């Protein structure tokens, strides 16, 4: 059981602790719309900034290949470093968030992004890029446990489904903005200036968060040594947590293919220009954001989160497989690939509700940190695996493989739903 403490002092000055409550913190049942909207907006901006960071390096892969003579496998290793660091850090960050609160970690993460972007503007070779990947991965590590701890504690319960929708939507917008940001600034100046501009952007976001810090505070809970409570790691014994982890790992492997290699695949398979291929990636992210918006209403009105996720991911897998066959031609493939983003986006808010239902009380930061580290593992594995496909010229097979992995995530989502339903029925 989770206990919140208040410190008191005896007459001789020695501290003792008085248990104030034995209830787990719950979000408010009601709150002013302006207050909820401000919190959702700030967390959404933070989430967008983390997703923007996912593309700090992949968008410049063609530049790095030309300037530093790198292969697809070497470029894939950059993203593996990013997400290995992020995954280890994210699993650990969940525990820190539960103990220290979300806000301090958010400030540190944004500061690390400033340093990573500034370093990227000065790299002269592969070693420097590896360092940037590690720094950016460290900055990315805290965002999901931070974001969901703030949302679950500060946003009123009736608006929580919409908060998850906005959270996912802003993440997709971060992905969508990144290609336009880097392409436009690089064309006007150069790629190093684009990284300096990104550093300035992150600094501005950090300053805004500091000014608005009152909206980002979270309640910290501690355990009473005299109460027979579960150990901090006890949640890891629950099979549903690992089914959630597996879902994120598998679904993210597919996303990593789209982010890292879709531009190169479109150019190789259909002779699409770099600008058109980049715009297709942006369209994928924008369609995903629209899907997130629609999915928010679905998540708020249905209790079958796992089924919504399974259907949306299943449809996306079929569309992606069709793109891999090349039957649509250049324009058709670009359109269908963008539509795949919409299908994935529909399931986003229901995915977050699915994880919330599977989370034991009082372990939000830890569970979200562990489960979302599956996202980082997927991002780490996928570029290495499918980068080898790309080096062999298996462009269509890369998309077909990504579709097959996405279908496996459907099985994992249904597994989460089955185990969550069983736990709730015995509650």
Helices assigned H by DSSP within 271-394: 274-301, 305-325, 329-358, 364-391
pLDDT of residue 152: 82
Share of the chain above pLDDT 70, in %: 83
Look at residue 179 and tell me whether its pLDDT is greater than 50.
Answer: yes
Give me the DSSP letters along 192-236: HHHHHHHHHHHHHHHHHHHHTGGGG-----B--TTS----TTGGG
For the ranges 36-50, 189-203, 230-244, the lowest mean pLDDT is seen at 230-244
Ramachandran quadrant class, 69 (left: phi over 0; alpha: psi -120 to 50; beta: rest)? left
**18 burial class (0-12, 13-18, 19+ CB within 10 angstroms)?**
exposed
**What is the widest separation between alpha-carbon atoms in the chain?**
82
Query: DSSP assignment, residue 328?
Result: T
CA distance 196 to 43: 24
Res. 65: pLDDT tops 80:
yes
pLDDT attached to residue 50: 92
Report the chain's C-alpha Rg in angstroms: 22
Residue 21 phi/psi, 5-degree rounding, is -155, 155
For the segment(s) 4-20+33-425, the CATH number from 1.20.1250.20, 1.10.8.60, 3.40.225.10, 1.10.10.10 is 1.20.1250.20
pLDDT in tens, 379-391: 878 888 888 898 8
Sorting pLDDT into bands at 50, 70 and 90, what band is 100?
confident
> Per-residue pLDDT averaged across 341-361, rounded?
79
Provide the pLDDT confidence category of residue 226 given band limits of 50, 70 and 90: very low
Over residues 323-350, the mean pLDDT reads: 91
Q: Cβ distance 261 to 73 under 8 Å?
A: no
Tell me the two tokens of residue 291.
């899907």
pLDDT score recorded for residue 41:
93
Per-residue confidence at 235, pLDDT binned at 50, 70, 90? low
Q: pTM for this structure? A: 0.71
Average pLDDT, stretch 382-407?
90
pLDDT at 114 over 50: yes
| Per-residue pLDDT tens over the stretch 197-218 | 999 999 999 999 999 988 888 7
Helix (H) or strand (E) holding 393: none
> Given this model, what pLDDT does residue 295 score?
86
């Amino acid at each position: 059981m989770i206990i919140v403490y208040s410190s008191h002092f005896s007459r001789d000055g020695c501290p003792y602790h008085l248990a104030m409550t034995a209830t787990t913190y719950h979000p408010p049942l009601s709150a002013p719309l302006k207050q909820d909207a401000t919190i959702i907006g700030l967390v959404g901006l933070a989430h967008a900034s983390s997703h923007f960071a996912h593309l700090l390096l992949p968008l410049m892969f063609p530049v790095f290949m030309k300037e530093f003579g790198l292969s697809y496998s070497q470029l894939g290793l950059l993203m593996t470093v990013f997400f290995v660091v992020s995954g280890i850090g994210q699993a650990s960050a969940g525990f820190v968030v539960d103990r220290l609160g979300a806000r301090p970690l958010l400030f540190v993460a944004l500061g690390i992004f400033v340093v990573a972007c500034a370093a990227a503007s000065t790299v002269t070779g592969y070693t420097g890029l590896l360092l940037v990947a590690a720094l950016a991965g460290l900055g990315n590590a805290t965002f999901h446990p931070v974001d969901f701890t703030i949302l679950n504690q500060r946003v009123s319960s009736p608006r929580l489904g919409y908060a998850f929708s906005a959270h996912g939507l802003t993440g997709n917008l971060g992905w969508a903005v990144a290609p336009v940001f880097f392409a436009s600034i690089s064309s006007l100046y150069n790629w190093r200036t684009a990284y300096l501009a990104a550093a300035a952007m992150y600094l501005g976001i950090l300053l805004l968060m500091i000014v608005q810090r009152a909206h980002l505070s979270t309640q910290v809970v501690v355990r009473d040594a005299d109460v027979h409570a579960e150990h901090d790691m006890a949640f890891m014994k629950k099979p549903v947590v690992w089914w959630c982890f597996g879902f994120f790992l598998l679904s993210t492997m597919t996303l990593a293919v789209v982010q890292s290699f879709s531009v190169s695949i479109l150019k190789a398979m259909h002779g699409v220009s770099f600008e058109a291929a980049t715009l297709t990636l942006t369209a994928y992210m924008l369609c995903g954001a629209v899907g997130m918006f629609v999915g928010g209403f679905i998540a708020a009105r249905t209790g079958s989160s796992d089924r919504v996720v399974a259907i949306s991911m299943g449809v996306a897998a079929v569309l992606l497989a069709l793109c891999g066959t090349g039957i649509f031609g250049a324009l058709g493939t670009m359109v269908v690939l963008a539509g795949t983003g919409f299908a994935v986006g529909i399931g986003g808010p229901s995915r977050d509700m699915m994880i919330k239902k599977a989370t034991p009380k009082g372990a939000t930061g830890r569970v979200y940190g562990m489960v979302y580290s599956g996202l980082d593992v997927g991002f780490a594995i996928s570029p290495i695996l499918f980068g080898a496909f790309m080096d062999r010229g298996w462009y269509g097979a890369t998309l077909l493989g990504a579709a097959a992995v996405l279908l496996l995530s459907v099985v994992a989502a249904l597994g989460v739903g089955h185990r969550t339903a069983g736990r709730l029925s015995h509650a």
